[in-house]
Amino acid sequence: MVAAVVVPCQFASLAVVTLPLTLPLILDLQGAGPAAVAEGLSGMVAVKRSRALLRRLRWQLAVPFVGLVVAGRLVEGVKATLLSAVPSRLYQDLIELPLVVLLGGTALSLLIARLQDVLPYVAFEGAQALETAGRGSNNASNEGSSDCGGERGGQAPAKAAAQGV
């Protein structure tokens, strides 16, 4: 389902003008997979959860994502250029050279494709860790301020001491 929407958006993103419109949608859809797997969500609920969770990391996720897309396109272009530049006699006499270029370029393309697949999961895990840490620090600060009661209205003891109370 995600690929059916992401691939046309990636194609539309090739026109740099549409990139600000399509990139957030692509990132939200890429993050929906980890939300579905990790939290058991489906459909638009997973997309909304990934959007909410990855909102703070959007540009930190966008730069490597765009970099991987560009790197994949460059690898394919270089592989095609190298294969077309090999003299035809080498295809008959020394087949190992074009074969190494073909296999090496294909392996590098597959590696980049797997990195594109793994990136949303890594970002989702990082965002979940940040959310958990944020909740933990909020809970700790709420607990600390609720223990301080009195006339200072719940201020921390160190702040009250600094004010000379």
Supply φ then ψ for residue 22, to 5 degrees: -90, -30
CA–CA distance, 93 with 71 (Å, rounded to integer):
32
pLDDT of residue 13: 64
CA–CA distance, 74 with 70 (Å, rounded to integer):
6
Record the tokens describing residue 70, joined without a space.
């560009």
pLDDT of residue 114: 92
Q: What is the pLDDT along the chain (165 residues), one digit of tens a residue?
A: 556 666 666 666 666 666 777 777 788 788 787 878 777 877 888 888 888 888 877 778 888 888 888 899 999 999 999 888 888 887 788 888 888 989 999 999 999 999 988 888 888 888 888 888 877 766 655 555 444 444 444 444 444 444 444
Around Cβ 150, how many Cβ atoms within 10 Å?
10
Conformation bin of residue 153: beta by default, left when phi > 0, alpha when psi is -120 to 50: left
3-class SS at 156? coil
pLDDT of residue 15: 63
Can you give the pTM of this predicted structure? 0.63
CB distance 156 to 145 below 8 Å: yes
